[in-house]
Copies of this chain bind each other. A is one copy, B any other.
Amino acid sequence: MGVNSNRVEHVSCLETTVTISSAEVGVMPPPMQIHKVCLPPKLTTLQKLKHRLTEIFFPDDPLYRCKNQTWFNKLIICLQFFFPIFQWGSEYNVSLLKSDVIAGLTIASLAIPQGISYAKLANLPPIVGLYSSFVPPLIYSILGSSRHLAVGPVSIASLVMGSMLSEAVSPTEDQILYLRLAFTATFFAGLFQASLGLLRLGFIIDFLSKATLVGFMAGAAVIVSLQQLKGLLGIAHFTSKMQIIPVVSSVISTKDEWSWQTIVMGFGFLFFLLTARHISNRNPKLFWVSAAAPLTSVILSTLIVFLLKSKIHGIPIIGHLPKGLNPPSLNMLYLSGPHLAVAIKTGIVTGILSLTVMDGNKEMMAIGVMNIAGTCSSCYVTTGSFSRSAVSYNAGAQTAVSNIVMASAVLVTLLFLMPLFYYTPNVILAAIIITAVIGLIDYQAALKLWKVDKLDFMACFCSFFGVLFISVPLGLAIAVAVSVFKILLHVTRPNTLILGNIRGTQIYQNLSRYREASRIPSFLILAVESPIYFANSTYLQERILRWVREEEEWVKENNGSALKCVILDMTAVTAIDTSGIDTLCEIKKMLEKRSLKLVLANPVGSVTEKLDQSEITESFGPYGIYLSVGEAVAHTSSLWKAQP
């Protein structure tokens, strides 16, 4: 097969190594081996679409374990996929159970006070926090695939739900409506999560980059902590707003409501909790210190208030909590009316935030189903908790049975221990919340972002201050916008590099980075480090022509040999669109006006295909596209020698 066909051959080109003979090309180049650039295997539009959709939705090939299996095995595998309990259940034994019981009880001691506290954060009755620590863990233990994930209410989702719903409805004046909206939001959160998982759209969550989350979490933690000043200082009339400015001014303007008894008790226990946390952080083996501290604080503070109740006043207490299991709540869903939109919005935002801990579409489905089920049993949004999962891991949880044990402990509490919380002071809940959220401020991660990637730091910074000064959902939106802008900026202004040859090799590298790389006389070798798109095609055209101009000036100043050929190394041009193709043609024309030849080296599969489809391969002729920069240089030079 010769080189007489201008169009690039399809993959059927078996003998791509071509020895050029004089007869075929008219001139007399020395015989030399060059490799043809092949097209990728030809696919129909439908096949391409199928491939593309598979890559978008099933990158992990979830059915791979079903290959070459009998239908019975396939059924088992499917069952195990949707109910992981069938996977580990059959191998469960007493030794595993022992570990799980210890871990389960440890996280229960943390989950009970946190559940009550987080419900208050969401402006919900404390008991809803306990309900939410009972049903969802049971459901997750059947559906979930993580061994250490401790499920229940979490601070961020509680804060966001509280902040978004209380903008629409006052949680104190219209308690029932607020509760209904909370359940409805939970329902939509679950529906959204399950749909994301089912439609395999989990990757949408990836758009919340780690940098964004670091800033967001820290901002939310600051907001939550400031909100707790209400409890810590014993303020009765507090702003319902979430931004830093109204909260701080509300704290200052209510100075006369501060209660010294509350302050002493609050800061005392806060100090105790933070110290316990510090000890556990220093030595992970002592994880139980911080795990036990909240329950200890609750018990101690309740005792203090109970014993001194005749002596001190002005410390607000939780008061009566109803005994008994989760009441059904499906009838409370608010599915039509003026507040439906805010419930859906809250559901989607808290749903997204709850998924940031998750990994993979399967887990999203489990969490979604868990939340939908929770809606029917008086639970609000739940997910895996960072802090409790860490405790669960340290306590040696082996399977999801640890979640069952924890739920059982909550069950006992709900059935028998509720009256004990009567004298628990609200201030202790504030201290527990602060201790929990302070761990979300990851200043070391922020420092690392600054060190490694200034733009990532920028996204982090924006989400932090956005949350602090504007609002939680808007802060998040700004941060996502910054992250997306970063991607677009990279695409809009890609790098272009001049390459030189490293002596004695076929390696071509950036001249400014590798001193031993040297220019090849008469050639300008440019690498474009980005797809060529509508968004950068004008820039690339300008930039490439500027490189050519500068090279020509350099040649003139240094009396080098005149520039004759520009090679574009297309290795990193991973895609091209129609604007990009037009730009390539335009550059080729403009270079030809200056009597310069444009040669492409190593276009990737999809680019080769598009060049071929738009028929510009032909305009490049048989010697316009090479497999590597090395072959382009060698063969072009040999052509010049043959035809000086």
Contacts and interface: CB of A to CB of B under 8 A. Distances in A.
Interface in A93-138: none
A509 interface: yes
B203 A492 contact: yes
Contacts of A45: 454
22 contacts: A35-B507, A38-B513, A41-B512, A59-B539, A59-B543, A61-B546, A203-B492, A206-B492, A208-B534, A209-B533, A210-B582, A448-B578, A452-B614, A453-B578, A455-B577, A484-B488, A487-B488, A495-B606, A497-B605, A507-B627, A510-B605, A529-B604
Nearest to A56: B493
Task: Bin the interface of chain A by size.
Answer: 35 or more
Contacts of A39: 513
Nearest to A609: B452
Contacts of A382: none
Nearest to A67: B553
Interface in A150-201: none
A488 B485 CA distance: 10
Contact of A535 (B209, B489, B536): B209
A488 B61 CA distance: 22
Interface of A: 11, 14, 16-17, 35, 38-41, 45, 48-49, 52, 55-56, 59-61, 64, 203, 206-212, 359, 448-449, 451-456, 483-484, 486-495, 497, 502, 505-507, 509-510, 512-516, 529-531, 533-539, 542-543, 546, 549, 571-572, 574-575, 577-579, 581-582, 604-606, 610, 613-614, 627-628, 630
Contacts of A455: 577
Contact of A452 (B505, B538, B546, B613): B613
Nearest to A60: B542
A43 B517 CA distance: 20
Given A452-B581, A546-B59, A35 B571 contact: no
B514 A449 contact: no
**Number of chain copies forming the complex:** 2
A534 B38 contact: no
A453 B577 contact: yes
A452 B578 contact: yes
A490 B575 contact: yes
Given A505-B35, A539-B206, A579-B209, A494 B610 contact: no
B495 A574 contact: yes
Contacts of A516: 14, 16-17, 35
Nearest to A449: B578
Contact of A534 (B210, B543, B571): B210
Nearest to A457: B578
A83 to B, nearest CB: 22
Contacts of A359: 538
B536 A206 contact: yes
A512 B10 CA distance: 12
Contacts of A16: 514-516
Contacts of A453: 577-578, 610
A16 B531 CA distance: 31
A130 to B, nearest CB: 34
A510 B35 CA distance: 14
Given A513-B38, A515-B11, A574-B494, A538 B206 contact: yes
A434 B286 CA distance: 81
Nearest to A503: B17
Nearest to A36: B514
A579 B209 CA distance: 7
B492 A209 contact: no
A452 B359 CA distance: 36
A487 B610 contact: no
Contact of A506 (B454, B488, B506): B506
A59 B493 contact: yes
A522 B490 CA distance: 36
Nearest to A212: B534
A538 B363 CA distance: 14
A534 B207 contact: yes
Contacts of A56: 489, 492-493
A236 B516 CA distance: 79
Given A11-B513, A203-B539, 18 more contacts: A11-B512, A35-B505, A41-B513, A48-B454, A59-B543, A64-B549, A203-B535, A209-B577, A451-B614, A452-B610, A455-B577, A487-B487, A487-B488, A495-B604, A495-B605, A502-B627, A506-B630, A507-B627
Contacts of A604: 495, 510, 529, 572
Contacts of A579: 209-211
A575 to B, nearest CB: 6
A428 B456 CA distance: 59
Contacts of A606: 495
B11 A210 contact: no
